[in-house]
Amino acid sequence: MESRDQSDMPEHGPGPWSAARDGRGDVEPPPPPSRPPTAVPPPPGAPLRAVAAGLLSLSGLGLGHVLVRRWGRAAVSWAATAAFLLVALPADPDGVPALLVAVYVLLLVLAGADAARIALRTEFGGWPRPALAAVVGLALLAVPVAATSAYGSARDEAREQELLDRLREGDELVTKAAKNSFALSGPDYRYALTLYRELGEDHPGSRAAALVPERLEAYYTAISTPYRAKDYCAAIDPLTFLRTLPDTVDRKLLGDLPGRADAPLAESLYACGVSRLNGSGTESGGTELTALLRTFPDSAQAGQVGPAVSGKIRQQVADLKGEDPCAVTDGLRRTSTLVAGLPGTSSPALSTQAAAGVRDGVYACGVDEFEDGRFSEARQTLTDFADAYTGDRRRGHAEDIAVAAEIAEVRPAAGKRLPPSGGAGGTRMELVISNDAPNGVEVLYTGPVTGTVNLKPCGSCDRYSSEATGAARACRASGTSYPKARLRLPAGEYHFLYKHDTGASTEVDSYASGSKVKPGYSYTSCTYVIERDRYGLDLPSLPDPLKPASLVR
């Protein structure tokens, strides 16, 4: 047998990792461990490396992943930072959306945590001093902090520039509006005021807000342009608008501006109202003068309204003697309407004066219409005068002129001269007018005296078959009592108008005639109606001139 050296044999039994051999020389597997293996402890300096890597990645530059040689993950940080800067720059007054900021900060935190986790098991490549890396990472955190501060300043400046742009927009609107009438430029003025008000009230600490009081001063000046140009009527609306600003704008912004419009507005209301009162246009000035008395009742201009209106009425009454009293009367009516709307204690006296002026105007207008041959208008005007002013001493004459005008509409010769205003003197002759017609007749006459008389229908009378029959038989039937009217007329030329009513016959026309009345005679006249002609018309007779009935000795 072969002997073996005992030194080749182990002194003790097999250890935990030794292999047992069977009789054939094969190696048996080691037995399982008696307990689970423990985790391998991190390499020395791992916590400091993790802190350094995490701080370096929080800067958004991906440097933590660079140190542990994770280039793909570093590229994610670079891409996220680039996208964030692309959205955030240049600085906008509204800043970066909060959701985007939250997402970016979350990505930085995740990147820092990931870099720290990897650095626990991985050595820094090419950077042997983790402590220095941690200091650098801490220092780099100042970059986003400083960037955030700088961005905030840039955003604030952008916001200031935006507010200044809005201020300039308002300035441009005011400059443009000052070149046009307030009726056209009112919307521009109102929008500019909205811009100024929002700047001053909503952004009180801004540079633009600090300039608003100065701009409002210029705003008042621009709106007052018509007043400074002495265009008083055009100045009323903008000055009235200025007085409403305290209702919409903070008084602290306006300062002493609200009261500045009062005196110019009072002056403009008076000047415009009086100019229209004394002008030839259709505007009477009542709107402006009423507004003055209601808005500034204690102003010096309010005290001048009564005398101004009274003087205008006196001037208009004097103008009734001119060429166109009817136009003057229209002006007096407008003035009377103006007076009726005026508040204050002077109105009753002015109302009496204006009413008297209108009364004089109506009479003067009717006379002028008659003299101009406008007989229909004259009749209507003077009839209205007589109906409206029953106590006026001129009422009788107005009625006489109205009668003469109605006759002159049919017989123009009756309108050659006005009826006399006083009664005619001298001897008077009798005129008896008989009615041989089945309908009533109104007889109008004018000459040395003017008047009307009514004849009742003749109940037993009828129409005549022809003009010849009527001329031969009218007012001559024995035993017939014809309705009569007796007039006592001074000598002179007269014009008559016979107006048949429709009591017994329709479509009977009025007709006129003229005759002379001579001293020493009495006269008769007869009116009758002939039968319808082939056109179906009843025609009144055209009486002969007044026939002397007898000679008065």
Q: Which residues contact 411 (CB under 8 A, 6 or more apart)?
A: 495, 497, 512, 513, 514
Strands (DSSP E) contained in 393-508 are 428-436, 441-446, 451-455, 484-490, 492-500
| Cα 524 to Cα 474: distance, rounded to the nearest angstrom | 12
Which residue type is seen at 23? G
**pLDDT digits (tens), the chain, 553 positions:** 334 444 344 444 444 444 444 545 555 566 666 655 555 455 555 565 666 555 566 666 655 555 666 676 667 666 766 666 666 555 455 555 666 566 666 776 766 666 666 666 665 655 555 655 555 655 566 666 666 665 556 666 677 778 888 889 999 999 998 888 888 988 999 999 989 888 888 888 888 888 888 888 999 999 999 999 999 999 999 999 999 888 888 888 888 887 889 999 999 999 999 999 988 777 888 999 999 999 999 999 999 999 999 999 999 999 999 999 999 999 999 999 999 988 875 678 899 999 999 999 999 999 999 999 999 999 999 999 999 999 999 999 999 999 999 999 999 999 999 999 877 777 899 999 999 988 899 999 999 999 999 999 998 888 888 888 888 888 988 878 899 999 999 999 999 999 887 654 445 567 778 889 999 899 999 998 887 654 555 455 445 445 554 333 2
Model pTM above 0.85: no
Q: What angle do CA 197, 198, 201 make, to 5 degrees?
A: 80
Q: CA torsion angle for 76, 79, 82, 83 (degrees, to 10)?
A: -110
Within 10 angstroms of residue 383's Cβ, the number of other Cβ atoms is: 18
